[in-house]
Amino acid sequence: MSTTPAPGTTPLTELPAWKALEQHAVTLKSAHLRDLFAEDPERATRFSLEAEGLFFDYSKNRITSVTLALLLDLAEQSGLREHIDAMFRGDRINVTENRSVLHVALRAPKSQKIVVDGVDVVAQVHAVLEKMSEFSSRVRSGEWKGFTGKRVRNVINIGIGGSDLGPVMAYEALKHYSQRDLTFRFVSNVDGTDFAEAARDLDPAETLFIVASKTFTTLETMTNANSARAWVLDKLGDPKAIASHFVALSTNAAEVSKFGIDTANMFEFWDWVGGRYSMDSAIGLSTMIAIGPESFRAMLAGFHSIDEHFRNAPLAENLPVLMGLLTVWYSNFFGAQTMAILPYDQYLKRFPAYLQQLTMESNGKSTTVSGTHVKYETGPVYWGEPGTNGQHSFYQLIHQGTRLIPCDFLGFMRSLNPLGDHHDILTANLFAQAEALAFGKTTDEVIAQGTPDWLAPHKTFEGNRPSNMILAEQLTPEVLGKLIALYEHNVFTQGVIWQIDSFDQWGVELGKVLAMRIVPELKSASPLQHDSSTNALIERYRNQKV
Ligand code: G6Q
């Protein structure tokens, strides 16, 4: 193994392992998975592993033992191990924002200590968890009353991006465990339709709003929160009603009280929790109300078990590391532009959307931590839908299109809703798709099945399309925590290799500023100083709005 340069000091493309991978990829591109499996009867065992109750089969990837060794060299030469240690220590690895990145502290057991600037953040986390548990129990039992004395029956989370996608995804994923006499809704879009449709059939006297915003200044969220306040006051009249119908999840106590929410009803988190890494912080309050404090803690334990695995397992047996390296392999050496996330579980219907933010906001960067422009591709586009629905729409392109789309398949051994042979059919589809993508169907096989020669090319499947298979016993809160942590650390691994800051989001910040400039221009007749296209669009809106 070659010597390891200090992390980040050598440009990625000059690392010996990178150069070796470039050479190796040339030979491997012509290898077919059919042959790789035929040559090695042990392949499925060689390229699969089980960790923390998750089974990971990565044998249907276009790799050999040499590929794996080179990718692991790349991880070592990139200083992955040192970067992992730095994150867990609380070093300020989010360099452009000069912040620690400590979502792992959100699920650390009470006995653990992580000290940042002289403060034990684990103790802070547990104090907030206690407060959340107490509040959730009061809402769930009906003890928390609205202003008129009616119990809360509806919970509406108002937030956007990291303050929305996690709570929505987790609510959907864990609906099976939720308290069914409570209604949960999520309002994110500043489009008035989102709030109007969420509130239209609800009684303000029975509705609790959770205003979720790390900064408490986000235009969309504050606009929706103000409309919610007006909606409550319209029916309940008295401004004192706000205290019983609004709570806040935020890092910004000053803005929370300015809005009129008592800071006693604020659940705190900290600047070392990134928005897209916050669904297990106070931002998860709606999840905790839905599934209860005990299940929420089980979810945290699931996260923590993968954190420990990521931190301690050798790189070669480290599930998130392997997943991250495979994504680097396809993105940088096979020209793959996208990754499909295909959960075979209806409860995970929002999981691809959640991962879209986690992965694309984290690794959609083109400047390295040392400020140079990258000379290679970084974060791929993540997308997906639950199986089997996707099979009847976009899978065609994955099977027979011209693009290489590595897939992550996710499945469970047992259904939460056993119904006839539904689960066998679902799982048969899951396994069959991965098999067909890898092995395809040759023209000879097609002709042997009686297809006329002219039609045979259309019914031929090239195969050699890579996929991972991730299996767990059943979708529980704990397993959901494990799956999310798996992708968080997968993203981390990719970011370290690509030498980018996976924890800032300057693109999102830009969006927040740009709209603020145009809002007043839409309301006035002031002269415009944009480009001719933007000026014309604003003029058109000014002329046609009622
Ligand atoms: C996430 C991003 C972004 C953020 C939203 C909402 O990592 O920073 O999606 O979560 O812009 O921000 P607030 O929580 O501050 O309202």
Q: Which of 361, 385, 478, 521 is catalytic?
A: 361
Helix (H) or strand (E) holding 518: helix 506-523
| Average pLDDT per consecutive 10 residues, the chain (546 residues; last block may be shorter) | 51 98 97 98 98 98 98 98 97 96 98 94 98 98 98 98 98 98 98 98 98 96 98 96 97 94 95 97 98 98 98 98 98 98 98 98 97 97 96 97 98 98 98 98 97 97 98 98 98 98 94 88 95 97 91
Q: What separation in Å is there between the alpha carbon of 269 and the centre of ligand 1?
A: 13
209 in Cβ contact with 195 (< 8 Å): no
Catalytic residue status for 240: no
Q: Residue 83: phi, psi to the nearest 5?
A: -65, -40
Report pTM. 0.96
Which pLDDT value is given to residue 9? 75
Look at residue 361 and give its three-state secondary structure: helix
Distance between CA atoms of 166 and 172, rounded to whole angstroms?
10
Tokens 């620690």 sit on residue: 100
381 in Cβ contact with 513 (< 8 Å): no
Write out the two tokens for 401. 């299109």
CB of residue 218 inside a 6 A radius of ligand 1 = yes
Mutate-to-test residue for ligand 1 from 219, 356, 508, 516, highest number of ligand atoms within 8 A of CB:
508
DSSP code at position 205:
G
Alpha helices in 185-318 (DSSP H): 192-199, 219-236, 242-245, 253-259, 285-291, 293-312
387 in Cβ contact with 409 (< 8 Å): yes
Mutate-to-test residue for ligand 1 from 97, 280, 505, highest number of ligand atoms within 8 A of CB:
505
Region of residue 405 (phi > 0: left; psi between -120 and 50: alpha; otherwise: beta): beta
Write out the two tokens for 366. 């083109």
DSSP code at position 133:
H
503 in Cβ contact with 92 (< 8 Å): no
Q: What separation in Å is there between the alpha carbon of 187 and the centre of ligand 1?
A: 14
Q: What separation in Å is there between the alpha carbon of 279 and the centre of ligand 1?
A: 11
CB of residue 215 inside a 6 A radius of ligand 1 = yes
Distance between CA atoms of 166 and 212, rounded to whole angstroms?
11
495 in Cβ contact with 363 (< 8 Å): yes
CB of residue 162 inside a 6 A radius of ligand 1 = yes
Question: Which amino acid appears at position 49 of this protein?
Answer: L
DSSP bridge partners of 157: 186, 210
152 in Cβ contact with 206 (< 8 Å): yes
The HSE-up count of residue 478 (CA atoms within 13 Å, CB side) is 11
Mutate-to-test residue for ligand 1 from 160, 165, 501, 502, highest number of ligand atoms within 8 A of CB:
160
Q: Which atom of ligand 1 is nearest to the CA of 221?
A: 16
Gyration radius (Cα) of the chain, Å: 25
Tokens 């001719």 sit on residue: 532
Q: What separation in Å is there between the alpha carbon of 485 and the centre of ligand 1?
A: 19
Q: What separation in Å is there between the alpha carbon of 295 and the centre of ligand 1?
A: 25
DSSP bridge partners of 410: 343, 470
- CB neighbour burial string for 393-405, b if at least 16 within 10 angstroms, e if fewer: ebbeebbeeeebb
Q: Residue 188: phi, psi to the nearest 5?
A: -130, -40
Q: What separation in Å is there between the alpha carbon of 162 and the centre of ligand 1?
A: 5
Distance between CA atoms of 402 and 105, rounded to whole angstroms?
43
Which pLDDT value is given to residue 1? 36
Catalytic residue status for 392: yes
Catalytic residue status for 512: yes
DSSP bridge partners of 246: 209
